[in-house]
Amino acid sequence: MKLIPQSIPEILIIQPQLHGDDRGYFAETFRQDILEEYTGKNFNFVQDNESKSSKGILRGLHYQLNPYSQSKLVRVIEGKILDVCLDIRKSSKTFAKHVSVELSSDNKKQLFVPHGFAHGFIVLSDTATVVYKVDNYYSPKYERGIAFDDKELSIDWVLPKDIIKLSDKDKSLPLLANAEELFE
């Protein structure tokens, strides 16, 4: 596995090495020891999640507050998405900056999203199945979010706004400037 830091260095692309022959391929998709050695932090992924969505579905930008904040390891097993991580650590030099990465079943890239970031994705293919590990349990009481279309963030979601579909919950998320609770 190759770990590739992004413009915000805590965000990592994890590129598995494929070993293929006429039978197909094999790849290690996760190695806790490599991730821990690289980040200097211990991880204990406790929950795996999976979602299947159609083109134009946008999920996010979501995060959970302490003590239920989550690191995530995201990958696509079918289709293609644009995955976005937004730095919501108020004391960070990259506060309000984001990283966008295309993840697909073809490129096999994974995205590591650490604590202190809001996360979301939009489906670019006809359908996409996204799976991700989290290091803390889902807690609706601690769940928060940021509006995907906050103009101050300048996030290019690739698809035209008129075909983007949101949940009712995501339609009511605040702008970053109006978010009551972020990370220090």
| Residues acting as catalytic residues | 62, 132
- What's the rounded Cα separation, in Å, for the pair 162 and 122? 13
- What's the rounded Cα separation, in Å, for the pair 68 and 135? 9
From the CB of residue 141, how many other CB atoms can be counted at a distance below 10 Å? 7
Q: What torsion, rounded to 10 degrees, do the Cα atoms 93, 96, 99, 105 define?
A: 140
- What's the rounded Cα separation, in Å, for the pair 70 and 137? 8
Strands 80-87 and 47-54: unpaired
- What's the rounded Cα separation, in Å, for the pair 19 and 37? 24
- What's the rounded Cα separation, in Å, for the pair 147 and 175? 5
Q: Tokens representing 164?
A: 């983007």
Number of helices (H) and strands (E) in the chain: give both, helices first. 2, 13
Q: Which helix H or strand E contains 19, and what residues bound it?
A: strand 19-21
